[in-house]
Amino acid sequence: MTSNLALLSDGGLSCASVFSAKQAKEPPHPPQVLSLAGIRKNEIDRSHSLVAPSCLTFKCEFRIHKFVDPQKTDIPTEDRIIHDHPLQANTTLGVGGPARYYLPVTTVGQLKGAVDWARQQGIPFVVLAGGSNVVIADDGVEGLVVHLQIKGREVHIQGEDVFLRVQAGEHWDYVVEYAVANGWAGIECLSGIPGSVGATPIQNVGAYGQQVSDTIATVEVLDLFTKKIVSFSNSDCGFGYRTSRFRTTDWGRYVVTSVTYRLQKDGRPIVRYPELAQFLQDRRFEHPTLAQVRGAVRTLRQRKAMLYDPNEVNSHSCGSFFVNPVLSQSEYEQFLERARQANLLGPQETPPTFALESGDYKISAAWLIERAGFRRGSRLGRAGISERHALALINLGGAKSRDIIALAQLIQTQVHDKFGIELHPEPIFIGFAQPPLAGAKCLP
């Protein structure tokens, strides 16, 4: 029986491949894997606050979730599978049609069983962890959508190092909150990012001068070829700017099941990002604590409507819709010359730029969008640009995915025509046979 598997690995994150279960163990075109980052609307529940082993004493109390045995396959019964489930409520953008089949899973065994069930039925298979980084097609998903809800955490302390192992379905911001509350440094600047833990290694999540590749020790995945759990060290993950091996060379082979972060016990925050540093300086935090840095980051994100709020339309988005482009030294110089010749940049003016250790330059996509002529608050049908942040494309109410795509296409065209730079979308497009935008990743 032929099986068309499309698996999303959290966040981030072309298209799904078709292969037969009777083919070799490693088919030439693997199924697409992408666990979608994001939180379900109105899903935040403090009862899921993070956990510490009972043998340790911490500053706050957390509910305990133990890891489950990942080896036993649990094939779903028909009564567990929901038919024609609307997916709009599972995304922060709030667009898209229904899933033909929908199945929440809470163990790795259930995830394995869902894979087997999809193969037996010969239908597409998509793993959805939350939905903040996805655009779902108006026609929905013709196949099985698995909602990844696997919970669990473990803590091991070795000297000054804290190894925090977290299951892929945990809410990311709760993990940051937990680490900060216990004085563990390394991820405090990543506060407020919607999504699940499984998303973080896929796209090497980063913000305000930190990225998870700085702290990830190991990533555990389900290998879809062997159905075994495999562990990758940091150096084996192929991390780059907003990418990893799970999004490039091994796209489609693995589903992230847990991540272990190496944090610093009683650590101090290192503030690198200019906007964050200025915010703290203005409040006279000369030696800010982890909690003060976390609070500052969340305040900055809230000002930009980058914290989801059901009552704030400017937050009804995928977060940052486009990735900040990275230019080499020569490309950067060509960009400056072209922009100045077109009077898009003053003779002594420089755009918001972040120099990378590689010698490349990361340019603000939001700045490019605004200089290309798009103002915050601009609209196209029921789609719009947030009044708070030019990188967020929002659902003004009643928008379709085609409305969001039309606006994104217009932005891509204008930026390329004026600056010669192609903006690549960050979200994953689900239910699309072909990429709807240049540089987009899609799953049917």
Q: What is the CATH number of the domain that holds 370?
A: 3.90.78.10
Distance CA 291, CA 321 (A): 28
Which pLDDT value is given to residue 7? 34
Better-scored residue on pLDDT, 65 or 350? 350
Which pLDDT value is given to residue 443? 79
> How many CA atoms lie less than 13 Å away from 438 in the CB half-sphere?
12
Q: Are residues 104 and 206 in the same domain?
A: yes
Q: Which residues, in sequence order, are CB contacts of 306 under 8 Å at separation 6+?
A: 192, 315, 319, 388, 389, 392
Do residues 117 and 74 make contact, with C-beta atoms less than 8 angstroms apart? no
pLDDT digits (tens, 9 = 90+) for 82-134: 999 999 989 999 999 999 999 999 999 999 999 999 999 999 888 888 788 89
- The answer, yes or no, to whether residue 49 has pLDDT greater than 80, is no
Do residues 118 and 5 make contact, with C-beta atoms less than 8 angstroms apart? yes
Q: Are residues 155 and 217 in the same domain?
A: yes
Do residues 125 and 143 make contact, with C-beta atoms less than 8 angstroms apart? yes
Distance in angstroms between the alpha carbons of the first and the last residue of the chain: 19
Which pLDDT value is given to residue 38? 32
Query: Looking at this protein, which amino acid is placed at residue 390?
Result: A
Indicate whether 335 belongs to any domain: yes
Range 15-44 average pLDDT: 30
Cα separation values, 321 from 69, 120, 152, 235, 420, Å: 37, 36, 30, 28, 19
- The answer, yes or no, to whether residue 163 has pLDDT greater than 90, is yes
Whole-structure pTM over 0.85, yes or no?
no
- The answer, yes or no, to whether residue 207 has pLDDT greater than 80, is yes
What total of structural domains would you count in the chain? 2
Which pLDDT value is given to residue 444? 77
Distance CA 73, CA 119 (A): 14
Helix 172-181 vs helix 290-303: angle between axes, to the nearest 10 degrees?
Answer: 150
Cα separation values, 434 from 17, 18, 32, 444, Å: 12, 14, 14, 8
429, two tokens: 């497009």
Lowest mean pLDDT among 53-57, 259-263, 289-293, 387-391: 53-57
Which pLDDT value is given to residue 248? 86
The rounded percent of the chain whose pLDDT value lies above 70 is 84
Distance CA 36, CA 23 (A): 28
Q: Are residues 159 and 290 in the same domain?
A: yes
Distance CA 92, CA 107 (A): 24
Domain edge (last residue) among 303, 328, 354: 303
Indicate whether 324 belongs to any domain: yes
Which pLDDT value is given to residue 27? 34
pLDDT digits (tens, 9 = 90+) for 378-421: 999 999 999 999 999 999 999 999 999 999 999 999 999 999 99
Helix 290-303 vs helix 274-282: angle between axes, to the nearest 10 degrees?
Answer: 110
Range 232-261 average pLDDT: 92
CATH number for the domain that contains residue 204: 3.30.465.10
Query: Band of the pLDDT at 155, cuts 50, 70, 90?
Result: very high
Which pLDDT value is given to residue 160? 96
Q: Are residues 345 and 387 in the same domain?
A: yes
Indicate whether 440 belongs to any domain: no
Q: Are residues 339 and 290 in the same domain?
A: no
Distance CA 371, CA 387 (A): 15
Which pLDDT value is given to residue 51? 32
Indicate whether 433 belongs to any domain: no
Q: Which residues are catalytic?
A: 242, 320, 426
- The answer, yes or no, to whether residue 143 has pLDDT greater than 90, is yes
Which pLDDT value is given to residue 269? 95
Which pLDDT value is given to residue 69? 52
Pairing verdict, β 161-167 and 153-158: antiparallel
Distance CA 358, CA 285 (A): 31
Q: Are residues 293 and 379 in the same domain?
A: no
Q: Are residues 296 and 320 in the same domain?
A: no
Q: Which residues, in sequence order, are CB contacts of 31 under 8 Å at separation 6+?
A: 3, 4, 5, 6, 7, 16, 17, 19, 125, 224, 252, 253
Indicate whether 430 belongs to any domain: no
Q: Are residues 209 and 358 in the same domain?
A: no
Distance CA 245, CA 203 (A): 9
Domain edge (last residue) among 260, 278, 303: 303
Which pLDDT value is given to residue 70? 55
* Residue range of the domain that includes 105: 1-303
Better-scored residue on pLDDT, 52 or 340? 340
pLDDT digits (tens, 9 = 90+) for 272-322: 999 999 999 999 998 999 999 999 999 999 999 999 999 999 999 998 999
Q: Are residues 86 and 162 in the same domain?
A: yes
Indicate whether 434 belongs to any domain: no
Range 150-155 average pLDDT: 94
Query: Band of the pLDDT at 68, cuts 50, 70, 90?
Result: low
Distance CA 127, CA 157 (A): 32
128, two tokens: 């959805």
- The answer, yes or no, to whether residue 164 has pLDDT greater than 80, is yes
Instruction: Tell me the average pLDDT of the chain.
Output: 84
Better-scored residue on pLDDT, 241 or 144? 144
Q: Are residues 1 and 44 in the same domain?
A: yes
Indicate whether 439 belongs to any domain: no
Q: Are residues 287 and 324 in the same domain?
A: no
DSSP state of 63: -
Range 158-184 average pLDDT: 97
60, two tokens: 């706050």
Q: Are residues 355 and 208 in the same domain?
A: no
Better-scored residue on pLDDT, 42 or 305? 305
